[in-house]
Chains A and B, each alone.
Chain A
Amino acid sequence: MKNLFIAFVVFTLALLAFSTYQALFVAPTEQTMGEVQRIFYYHVPSAWTAGVCFFVNFLASVAYLWKRNLASDGVAAASAEVGVTFCTIVLITGPIWARPVWGIWWTWDARLTTTLVLWLIYVSYLVLRRFSAGGQTQVLAAALAIFGFVDVPIVYMSIRWFRTQHPSPVMGGGENSGLDPAMLHAFFWNLAAFTCVGIVLMVVRYRLQMLEEKVEATHAAAALQGGSR
Chain B
Amino acid sequence: MTGPVALKTAYIVTWVILLGYLGSLLRRFRRVREEMKDFKRGG
Instruction: Say how far B37's CB is from chain A's closest CB, in angstroms.
Output: 10
B7 partner residues in chain A, CB cutoff 8 A: 35-36, 38-39
A39 with B6: CB separation less than 8 A: yes
Instruction: Say how far B30's CB is from chain A's closest CB, in angstroms.
Output: 10
A218 with B36: CB separation less than 8 A: yes
Instruction: Say how far A38's CB is from chain B's closest CB, in angstroms.
Output: 5
A89 partner residues in chain B, CB cutoff 8 A: 13-14, 17-18
Contact with B along A84-95 (1 / 0, CB 8 A): 010011001100
Interface size on B, residues (CB 8 A): 24
B14 with A100: CB separation less than 8 A: no
Is A97 engaged at the interface, CB distance under 8 Å to the other chain? yes
Instruction: Say how far B42's CB is from chain A's closest CB, in angstroms.
Output: 9
Q: Out of A39, A215, A222, name the residue touching B35 (CB < 8 Å).
A: A215
Instruction: Say how far B41's CB is from chain A's closest CB, in angstroms.
Output: 13
B14 partner residues in chain A, CB cutoff 8 A: 42, 46, 89, 93
Is A160 engaged at the interface, CB distance under 8 Å to the other chain? no
* A24, A33, A85 — most chain B CB neighbours (10 Å): A85
A222 with B6: CB separation less than 8 A: no
Question: Beyond A88-B17, A96-B13, is A208–B28 a contact (Cβ under 8 Å)?
Answer: yes
